[in-house]
């Protein structure tokens, strides 16, 4: 019945720095580009954003090869990362530097990958800001409307969208249906069906006094 009632509101709120996505993938490209653009976008549309950076913490010496791979992948993707994994540095130096960056880090931590371009954003504020900006630029919203069918126009230059509230015609469709994106995809391309297996997680709301211990 409104924007931000589906997947847009239910995410981790992380602006990814780009070290995790597979090199060469569209996700890797968009992670880095999105992180680069987010500060200016937040200022222009006036939504809460903090480029606080992110730490991937290594809790044992056995985890170092995995940390090294993340670092190399981030560099390959074009992100800005630094890993406390140099063989020229002593473990105690790595631990001291990590504790200086995050005093509440686990005592088991031995090293970490630091991605300064990582950040966090309020999913609600971001979605509302984008919707308000879209409305000012002429976008029309039609809520409580179910898509029942999709098929191309006879001349192949657009699409017919059948809904429970009438039929629409458009030049292109952006499938942003969240966990139902496969349903719309299969309406448009039954010859190449796909299926989304949704995953569900839990979020914990902490008292403000715990803000320095879990960020």
Residues annotated as part of the active site: 16
* Residue length of the chain: 215
The rounded distance, in Å, linking the Cα atoms of 140 and 31 is 28
Task: Locate 191 and state its tokens.
Answer: 């010859």
CA atoms 156, 162, 168, 171: torsion sign: negative
CA distance 125 to 101: 28
Strands 14-15 and 119-121: antiparallel
C-alpha distance across the termini of the chain, in Å: 32
Rg (CA), the chain: 22
Phi, psi of 80 (to 5 degrees): -115, 110
Name the nearest CA neighbour of 165 among 142, 185, 181, 188.
142
């Amino acid at each position: 019945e409104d924007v931000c009632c589906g997947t847009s509101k239910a995410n981790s709120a992380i602006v990814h720095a780009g070290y995790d996505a597979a090199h060469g993938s569209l996700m890797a490209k968009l992670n880095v580009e999105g992180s680069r653009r987010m500060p200016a976008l937040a200022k222009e549309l006036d939504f809460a954003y903090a480029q606080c950076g992110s730490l991937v913490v290594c809790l044992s010496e056995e985890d170092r090869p995995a940390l090294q791979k993340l670092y190399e992948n981030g560099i390959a993707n074009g992100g800005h990362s630094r890993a406390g994994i140099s063989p020229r540095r002593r473990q105690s130096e790595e631990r001291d530097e990590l504790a200086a960056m995050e005093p509440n880090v686990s005592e088991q931590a031995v090293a970490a990958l630091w991605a300064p371009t990582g950040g966090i954003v309020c999913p609600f504020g971001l979605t509302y800001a984008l919707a308000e900006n879209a409305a000012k630029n002429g976008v029309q919203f039609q809520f409580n409307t179910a898509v029942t069918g999709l098929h191309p126009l006879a001349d192949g230059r657009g699409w017919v969208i059948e809904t429970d509230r009438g039929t629409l015609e458009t030049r292109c469709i952006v499938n942003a249906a969240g966990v139902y994106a496969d349903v719309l995809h299969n309406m448009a391309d039954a010859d190449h069906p796909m299926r989304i297996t949704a995953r569900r997680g839990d979020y914990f709301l902490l008292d403000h006094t715990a803000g320095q211990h879990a960020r």
